[in-house]
């Protein structure tokens, strides 16, 4: 892999990741950009203690532009975008309208391909491996920034999820705090260790493998299953068999297999509702241990992949119990979801 670091016209960092070491990236951003004034504010809910980010400058961010004005396509045919090169493999740049900014974290955009019509599931294994390399490299770089406590790599796909740019891309957030979901998981890890002397992630994976009913796939180095108490209609958790705290700690076998397994899961998601259904909207979220956690080896890196679609023509909207109280109600039995995801496996 070759990594090329440059800057955009307004000073934001842009990084190219290429499979070939002899690739040259030297295009200059010619746009007359001025830096967007952005300063996020972290406030804390007085009743729960949960952090809330206020980022009012994001009201003016780009929203569903036409294909010929896509800011994630390469700059070509007289059209200038966030990527000055005429073509690229994987590119990462600082978000122009970040949720976290002004010394309270950092937000980056990860472009998986320069093809406007492709999705992650359309990538080759080699390209997906390059994306994994980019996620890993950015996790390492962002984790050492002052004040950063947790690095979160994720992809939102589909207008139903709220995506504002249809070009295949993901994001990386460097949080200046431990996110509420991770904090809750940390408490469960500690309680489980105190009660049993064992690791929570190890026990969950062992139970799902032993039960088998919610299993989706298993390889030499990875295991995927629908969680026992899935919150979403179709939800899959993907774990490396050897527990590690983050992407940096994956061993060679798990790293080599990861692109193939991830592509298989995403392609199954697009087949859940049949060949005539539109592409399945989803969120793919890598959960990594906070870097400020003194017991981070107890945390288990895993991917949580889920969709808000519950039927070919129906979406799951958060009801009052879920939005108001965080009390989820699932219309799809997890065992049925797992069976369907096994049925649509690649031949």
Name the one residue in this structure whose structure tokens are 């830096």. 35
Strands 169-175 and 150-157: antiparallel
How far apart CA 233 and CA 44 sit, in angstroms, is: 31
Q: How many Cβ atoms are within 10 Å of 332's Cβ, its own excluded?
A: 17
From the list 125, 70, 88, the residue with the least C-alpha distance to 3 is: 88
Residue listed under structure tokens 């990875």: 222
> Would residue 167 show up in a list of annotated catalytic residues for this protein?
no
| Residue 196, Cβ density class (10 Å: 0-12 exposed, 13-18 middle, ≥19 buried) | exposed
Active-site position among 167, 169, 237, 239: 169
Taking the C-alpha atoms of residue 308 and residue 305, their distance in angstroms, rounded to an integer, is 11
Burial status of residue 170 (CB atoms within 10 A of its CB: 0-12, 13-18, 19 or more): buried
d(CA 127, CA 258): 12
Alpha carbons within 13 A on the beta-carbon side of 259: 18
Going by C-alpha positions, the residue among 247, 254, 251, 210 that lies closest to residue 228 is 210
Whether 236 contacts 306, CB under 8 Å? yes
Residue with token string 């799902």: 208
| Residues acting as catalytic residues | 169
């Amino acid at each position: 892999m070759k990594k090329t670091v440059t800057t955009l016209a307004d000073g934001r960092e842009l990084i190219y990741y290429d499979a070939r070491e002899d690739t040259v990236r030297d295009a200059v951003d010619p746009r007359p950009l001025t830096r967007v004034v952005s300063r996020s504010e972290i406030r804390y809910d007085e009743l729960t203690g949960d952090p809330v980010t206020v980022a009012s400058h994001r009201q003016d961010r780009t929203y569903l532009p036409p294909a010929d004005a896509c800011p994630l396509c390469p700059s070509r045919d007289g059209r200038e975008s966030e990527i000055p090169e005429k073509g690229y493999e994987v590119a990462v740049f600082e978000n122009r309208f970040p949720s976290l900014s002004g010394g309270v974290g950092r937000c980056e955009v990860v472009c998986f391909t320069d093809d406007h019509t492709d999705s992650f599931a359309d990538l080759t294994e080699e390209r997906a491996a390059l994306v994994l390399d980019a996620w890993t490299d950015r996790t390492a770089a962002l984790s050492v920034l002052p004040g950063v406590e947790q690095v979160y790599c994720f992809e939102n796909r589909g207008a139903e999820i709220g995506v504002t740019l249809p070009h295949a891309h993901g994001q990386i957030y460097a949080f200046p705090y431990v996110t509420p979901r991770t904090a809750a998981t940390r408490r469960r890890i500690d309680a489980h260790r105190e009660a049993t002397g064992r690791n929570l992630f190890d026990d969950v994976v062992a139970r799902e493998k032993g039960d088998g009913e919610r299993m989706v796939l298993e390889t030499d180095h990875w295991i995927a299953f629908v969680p026992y108490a899935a919150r979403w209609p179709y939800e899959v958790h993907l774990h490396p068999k050897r527990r590690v705290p983050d992407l940096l700690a994956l061993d060679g076998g798990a790293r080599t297999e990861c692109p193939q397994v991830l592509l298989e899961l995403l392609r199954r998601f697009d087949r859940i509702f049949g060949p005539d259904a539109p592409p399945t909207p989803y969120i793919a979220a890598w959960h990594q241990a906070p870097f400020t956690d003194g017991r981070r080896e107890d945390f288990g890196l895993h991917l949580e992949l889920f969709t808000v679609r519950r039927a070919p023509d129906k979406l799951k909207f958060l009801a009052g119990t879920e939005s108001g109280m965080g009390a989820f109600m699932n219309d799809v039995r997890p065992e049925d979801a797992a069976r369907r995801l096994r049925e649509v496996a690649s031949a």
